[in-house]
Amino acid sequence: MSKRRAVLLLGERFRSSFFAHHRDRRTSIHRPTAVDSPHCSSAATYSSSRSRASPRPAMEAALTHNGLWSSGASEKNKAMVEQLQRYGVIKSTKVAEVMEAIDRGVFVPPGASPYFDSPMAIGYNATISAPHMHAACLELLEDHLQPGMRALDVGSGTGYLTACFALMVGPEGRAVGVEHIPELVASSTENIKKSAADPQLKDGSLSIHIADGREGWPELAPYDCIHVGAAAPQIPEALIEQLKPGGRMVIPVGTVFQELKVVDKKLDGTVSVRDETSVRYVPLTSKDAQLHSN
């Protein structure tokens, strides 16, 4: 098992334990569920589609001992990125540079531990994904986030990943976030203003919109890449339509069992889908269902 896959699986293991140990299950259309602590016991295990076995105990112990999962181990954004590089989650120099430039601390609520590798609640029954999941998705999408390209972030939440997209595609490209909670759109805009992506917010190459993410944002389609941060029962047809030929989408799909799908649209318009890894995300749903789910 590669270090990168082991880290991803451990992160999903911690995330899934939340469902087993907490009644107040936070629900979001756009983000993985929050985890109160990475040290939950008796966690359900989610592994690759080829094997449902647990990650090796030695690997888990090494990650915890060396600080990737320990509270307070990564006190600065750069240290967080270096940890993700050390464990093979980040391999791309470009992804590392962008995650260092976009300070995660700007995008989490006051009082949270921004550099701790865990999802965090951001209000409105929504969360911001763990750093390792953001890194993994950036790695999968890097070739489709080149200067001048167009990127869509479905469920932009705090605006963190949309800001990363903006730096990668540059001012000559377009980074579009879609979020159906107006208050999150407002707060994410303020977050971005305090980040390295602010110039692109000002010049209009980065924008956040209030909309149902399941419908995408057709006004600026087609997109070279689409990221979806919640699990759909099936891949929304609207998102496939808005994916540019030659483009790629990353989306979790499933209900009880979920897979992170990599969707590639070939130049002739045909679509191929492969499983990257097993994951555990909250469902892609309506605004009303998100706000009233407990």
Residue 118: CATH number of its domain: 3.40.50.150
Proportion of the chain above pLDDT 70, given as a percent: 74
Mean pLDDT estimate for the chain: 79
Nearest to 207 by CA among 169, 239, 236: 169
Q: Is the pLDDT of residue 57 over 50?
A: no
Query: Residue 111: what pLDDT?
Result: 86
Give the separation between CA 72 and CA 114, rounded to whole angstroms: 10
Q: Is the pLDDT of residue 242 over 60?
A: yes
pLDDT category at 294 given cuts 50, 70, 90 is low
DSSP for residue 291? H
Helix (H, G, I), strand (E, B) or coil at 273: strand
Q: Provide the domain count of the chain.
A: 1
| Average pLDDT rounded to a whole number, residues 136-161 | 97
Query: Residue 255: what pLDDT?
Result: 87
Residues tagged active-site: 129
More confident residue, 115 or 51: 115
Query: Residue 226: what pLDDT?
Result: 98
Q: b/e per residue, 59-98, with b = 16+ CB within 10 A?
A: bbeebeeeebbeeebbeebeebbebbbebebbeeeebbeb
More confident residue, 210 or 229: 210
Radius of gyration over alpha carbons of the chain, in Å?
17
pLDDT category at 75 given cuts 50, 70, 90 is low
Most confident option among 8-12, 17-21, 188-192: 188-192
* 89: containing domain: 3-291
More confident residue, 255 or 166: 166
Q: Is the pLDDT of residue 66 over 70?
A: no
